[in-house]
Amino acid sequence: MKSNKESTFTLSAPNHVGMIMDGNRRWARKRLLPRAAGHRAGAKNVVPIVGCAFDCGVKIVTLYVFSTENAGRSEDEVTALIDLIRDQAKPMADKLIEIGARVSYAGDRSYFPQDVRDIMDEVERRNTNPDAPLVNMAMNYSGRSEIVRACALAAQSGNVTQESIERNLYTAGLPDPDMIIRTGGEKRLSNFLLYQAAYSELFFTDTLWPDFNTAELKSMFEEYSHRTRRIGR
Ligand code: IPE
Ligand code: IPE
Ligand code: MG
């Protein structure tokens, strides 16, 4: 049975949570491991954290997996990251589907090699239940590029309004994130969900992403449930 404390935040759990999963390389450096080991450890933490968020009542999790700017890292690191995405995308989606979720991808996927894009398309085709909780993975994602693209598409339709721009964002049809969590100590958005984060509650922790755990996540949900969201009113 759930404790009173747990049910308090379950009642007012955020609907949509964005997660900036930062700190993988520092986690590896602390252990004298190669960067790729940090990224692997980070990938391993995704299913437990997302699973906990869903158990707490969250319906949508948008994960910042790879930013457009990350493509400017060293060739070795970018190759390691793309290899990891290639290796992990399907098994991770399998595990998420097993816990009842569906998976989608946000961002400019034309950057990725065809075989990686094929995996993304295949995973998205498995989304048969529109009511299942959603894991939305931001891959080669840039908030600014997303806004420019959405404005251009809206202009093409001859109708530039907030609604027409929102219809052309990668998050079209999804509610804005209620809460954005950033691990790894930095206090910035780094081009994540710039348009959508207008009224998101921001949470920062020094914990490096591979060390971020369900206890800390739940304590953030607890704090979220006590925040007053005025949305300008
Ligand atoms: C986040 O960890 C993962 C990606 C950006 C792909 P980093 O790789 O940024 O690790 P730190 O922040 O340098 O420790
Ligand atoms: C943000 O982290 C991107 C992801 C977590 C995927 P970065 O490490 O790229 O951000 P900066 O460079 O510290 O702003
Ligand atoms: Mg970082």
Query: For 20-44, how does the pLDDT look when each residue is reduced to its tens digit (9 = 90+)?
Result: 999 999 999 999 999 999 999 999 9
Q: List C-alpha distances in Å: 51 to 6, 40, 114, 140, 213.
A: 16, 18, 29, 24, 11
Contact call for residues 210 and 39 (beta carbons, < 8 A): no
Tell me phi and psi for residue 85, to 5 degrees. Answer: -60, -45
What separation in Å is there between the alpha carbon of 85 and the centre of ligand 1?
A: 14
**Half-sphere exposure (CA, 13 Å, Cβ side) for 21?**
29
How many folded domains does the chain comprise? 1
Kindly state whether residue 3 falls inside one of the protein's structural domains.
no
Give residue 228's pLDDT.
93
Kindly state whether residue 99 falls inside one of the protein's structural domains.
yes
Kindly state whether residue 158 falls inside one of the protein's structural domains.
no
Give residue 67's pLDDT.
98
94 is catalytic: no
Task: Identify the band that residue 11 occupies on the pLDDT scale cut at 50, 70 and 90.
Answer: low
Model confidence at 9: pLDDT above 70: no
191 is catalytic: no
Kindly state whether residue 170 falls inside one of the protein's structural domains.
no
Model confidence at 8: pLDDT above 90: no
Query: How far apart, in whole angstroms, are the C-alpha atoms of residue 112 and residue 185?
Result: 29
Q: Quick check: CB of 94 below 6 Å from ligand 2? A: no
Kindly state whether residue 55 falls inside one of the protein's structural domains.
yes
Model confidence at 2: pLDDT above 60: no
Give residue 1's pLDDT.
41
Q: What is the pLDDT of residues 55-99, one digit of tens each?
A: 999 999 999 999 999 999 999 999 999 999 999 999 999 999 999
Query: How far apart, in whole angstroms, are the C-alpha atoms of residue 22 and residue 12?
Result: 26
- Tokens at 68, concatenated: 């457009």
DSSP state letters, 169-224: STTTTSPPPSEEEE-SS--S-TTSSTTGGGGPEEEE-SS-GGG--HHHHHHHHHHH
Kindly state whether residue 185 falls inside one of the protein's structural domains.
yes
Q: Quick check: CB of 142 below 6 Å from ligand 2? A: no
Identify the domain containing residue 71 by its residue range.
Answer: 16-143+176-224
Q: What is the pLDDT of residues 113-124, one digit of tens each?
A: 999 999 999 999
Of the ranges 4-8, 131-135, 137-141, 205-209, which one carries the lowest mean pLDDT score? 4-8
Kindly state whether residue 168 falls inside one of the protein's structural domains.
no
Q: List C-alpha distances in Å: 171 to 88, 141, 165, 214.
A: 23, 11, 11, 26
CATH number at 115 reads: 3.40.1180.10
As a whole number, mean pLDDT of residues 123-132 equals 94
Atom of ligand 1 nearest to the CA of 65: 6
Kindly state whether residue 155 falls inside one of the protein's structural domains.
no
